[in-house]
Homo-oligomer: A and B are copies of this chain.
Amino acid sequence: VESSVVLAGGADLSEVRAITFDVFGTTFDWWSGVVAQVDDLAKKIGLELDVVAATDHWREEFFLALDSVRNGRREFAYLDVLHAECLERVLVRADVADRVDDETRRHLVRVWHRLPAWNDVAGGLRRLQDKFTLAALSNGGFALTTALVKNAGLPFDCILSAQNARHYKPDIEVYNTAAELLDLEPRQVMMVAAHGWDIAGARAAGFRTAYVKRPRESGPHKAPENPDSVACDLVVGDFGELADILGC
Contact = CB atoms under 8 A, between A and B. Distances in A.
A96 interface: no
A158 interface: yes
Contacts of A141: 183
A32 interface: no
Interface string A149-182: 1100000011101011000000000000000011
Nearest to A135: B146
B150 A157 contact: yes
Contacts of A133: 143, 146-147, 150
Interface string A124-146: 00000100010000000111101
A181 B163 contact: yes
A21 to B, nearest CB: 15
B149 A183 contact: no
A157 B154 CA distance: 10
Given A159-B158, A164-B164, A183 B150 contact: no
User: How many copies of this chain sit in the oligomeric assembly?
Assistant: 2
A41 to B, nearest CB: 21
B163 A157 contact: no
A68 to B, nearest CB: 21
A166 to B, nearest CB: 11
A88 interface: no
A78 interface: yes
A184 interface: yes
A80 interface: yes
B80 A143 contact: no
Interface centre among A150, A157, A183 (most CB of B within 10 A): A183
Contact of A142 (B78, B129, B147, B158): B158
23 contacts: A80-B183, A129-B150, A133-B143, A133-B150, A142-B158, A142-B181, A142-B183, A143-B181, A143-B182, A143-B183, A143-B184, A144-B183, A146-B158, A146-B182, A149-B157, A150-B157, A157-B159, A158-B158, A158-B159, A159-B159, A163-B181, A164-B164, A164-B181
**Cβ-closest 6 pairs across A and B:** A143-B183, A142-B181, A158-B159, A146-B158, A150-B157, A143-B182
